[in-house]
């Protein structure tokens, strides 16, 4: 398969050639290309990509942590679904956010009750995380179909996923829609951590062993841990670079 995109310069003007990207990832460039190969880019224009922007963003913005969001509908149906458009939005007050692409059971339940729990997804839970993304009807609980244990939350009505090592209990703090996508903000009311992922009072990444979402059906685990200390300006000026 070969894709072809119109070439643009960084200043927005168009080049007189088309760049071709082949399925093995190599690129070839048509006539008129300059010698500055290192400065060349394949320019992708969202308006021209249409729905192709979705898999493209998923394959670029990665690895993405997964919020395994548990909710309860107003009539008592428990729901769990993974959302990898997820991050910390604010520290004080503590707020996390995730994005629902379209209106799904999760978003509907949160709008009904104003509460949700973000459960952290360890590697050992991957098959259940994936199973819970199946589009079950609203009255069928992923807890039961996927084989997850309901654990009462401390401050909110939706259950935690007992198998997950960390539960972040949230109260709806607002939402913001862009087209069919809705960013849901949740004020963090309570965090429950399994001692199994803690050492010396800290949550250790290698014990948490989170699974992350890449593009398509790919996932990744942590890989190598790399420690780099930040440099204060005074140390920078003193030559520590
Ligand atoms: C790992 C993973 C990450 C996902 N991330 C998102 C996401 O960020 N936003 C979204 O709308 N759907 C996402 N999905 C798809 C939803 O989980 C899926 O549509 C699910 O059926 C929604 O369930 P619900 O209707 O019970 O809320 C993801 C699926 C998987 C497997």
* pTM recorded for the entire structure: 0.87
| Nearest residue (CA) to ligand 1, atom 7 | 83
For residue 153, what are the β-bridge partners?
none
Tell me: the pLDDT tens digits for 93-109? 999 999 999 999 999 99
For residue 82 and ligand 1, the question of a CB distance below 6 A is answered with: yes
Residues 6 and 34 in one domain: yes
Q: How many domains does the chain have?
A: 2
CB 160 within 8 A of CB 143: no
Q: Within a domain: residue 124?
A: yes
CB atoms within 10 A of CB 101: 13
For residue 33 and ligand 1, the question of a CB distance below 6 A is answered with: no
For residue 104 and ligand 1, the question of a CB distance below 6 A is answered with: yes
Q: Within a domain: residue 53?
A: no
Residues 108 and 178 in one domain: yes
Residues 19 and 137 in one domain: no
Closest to 145 measured CA to CA, from 162, 127, 131 = 131
| Nearest residue (CA) to ligand 1, atom 15 | 133
CB atoms within 10 A of CB 186: 28
Tell me: the pLDDT tens digits for 204-229? 999 999 999 999 999 999 999 999 99
For residue 66 and ligand 1, the question of a CB distance below 6 A is answered with: yes
Closest to 102 measured CA to CA, from 8, 5, 177 = 177
Residues 121 and 69 in one domain: yes
Residues 29 and 144 in one domain: no
Q: Within a domain: residue 231?
A: no
Here the CATH number for the domain that contains residue 173 is 2.30.110.10
Tell me: the pLDDT tens digits for 48-95? 999 999 999 999 999 999 999 999 999 999 999 999 999 999 999 999
Residue with token string 């401050």: 155
Residues 17 and 132 in one domain: no
Full domain range(s) for residue 13: 1-43
């Amino acid at each position: 398969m070969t894709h072809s995109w119109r070439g643009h310069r960084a200043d927005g003007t168009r080049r007189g050639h088309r760049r071709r990207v082949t399925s093995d990832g190599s690129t070839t460039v048509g006539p008129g290309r300059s010698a500055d190969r290192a400065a060349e880019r394949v320019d992708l224009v969202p308006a021209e990509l249409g729905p192709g922007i979705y898999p493209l963003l998923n394959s670029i913005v990665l690895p993405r942590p997964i919020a395994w969001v548990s909710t309860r509908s107003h009539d008592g149906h428990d729901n769990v679904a993974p959302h990898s458009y997820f991050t910390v939005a604010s520290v004080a007050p503590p707020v996390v956010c995730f994005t629902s692409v379209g209106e799904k059971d999760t978003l509907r339940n949160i709008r009904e009750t104003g509460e949700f729990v973000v459960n952290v997804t360890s590697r050992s839970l991957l098959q259940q995380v994936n199973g819970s993304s199946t589009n079950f009807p609203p009255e069928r609980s992923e807890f039961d179909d996927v084989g997850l244990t309901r654990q009462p939350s401390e401050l909110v009505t939706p259950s935690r996923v007992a198998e997950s090592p960390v539960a972040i209990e949230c109260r709806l703090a607002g939402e913001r829609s862009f087209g069919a996508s809705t960013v849901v903000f949740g004020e963090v009311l309570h965090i429950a951590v399994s001692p199994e992922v803690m050492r010396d009072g800290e949550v250790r990444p290698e014990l948490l062993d989170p699974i992350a979402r890449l593009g398509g059906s790919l996932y990744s685990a942590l890989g190598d841990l790399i420690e780099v200390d930040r440099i204060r300006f005074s140390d920078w000026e003193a030559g520590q670079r």
